[in-house]
Amino acid sequence: MPRFMTLIRIDEQAATGFESDPDFEKRMGALFEEITKAGVMLETAGLTPTSQGTRLSWNGGRIGCTDGPFTETKEVVGGYAILQCKDKAEALEWTRRFLTVHPDGWTVEAEVRQIDEAAQPPQA
């Protein structure tokens, strides 16, 4: 079965002011339990703020290094999930359900992309 990576994008500046409703953690826990029991969730995690990150770049034959925070970026990847689904439609449905668990006042975006299994390095 194909694997999909879901990248969760947030406005890091606005996220500091988010207040969750009292049932948010309960709803998220129930969804994670369901998706895990279904054998779909392979891995998920939130990421630390960009202030704790470093970006590396390759340009003109040289490595560049920039420490966070990355103020020029409005939306950042705040977390990810790796799902194993029968097809993209199923991955999108689980991701829709993940998004709707969030409080109405939040802005959260998810990018769903299939993992290119053919591009994987050979196993030693």
Helix, strand or coil, per DSSP, at residue 98: helix
89-111 pLDDT, tens digit each:
999 999 999 999 998 888 899 99
Question: Structure pTM?
Answer: 0.83
123 belongs to a structural domain: no
List the structure tokens of 81.
């999930």
Considering only the C-alpha atoms of the chain, give the largest distance between any 2 of them, rounded to a whole number of Å: 51
Q: How many other β-carbons are positioned within 10 Å of the β-carbon of residue 4? A: 23
Q: How many other β-carbons are positioned within 10 Å of the β-carbon of residue 34? A: 13
Q: Which CATH number characterizes residue 47's domain? A: 3.30.70.1060
Q: How many CA atoms lie within 13 A of 111 on its CB side?
A: 10
30-78 pLDDT, tens digit each:
999 999 999 999 999 999 988 899 999 999 999 999 998 876 767 889 9
Measured CA angle at 97 (ends 40, 46), to 5 deg: 70
Look at the chain and report how many structural domains it folds into.
Answer: 1
59 belongs to a structural domain: yes
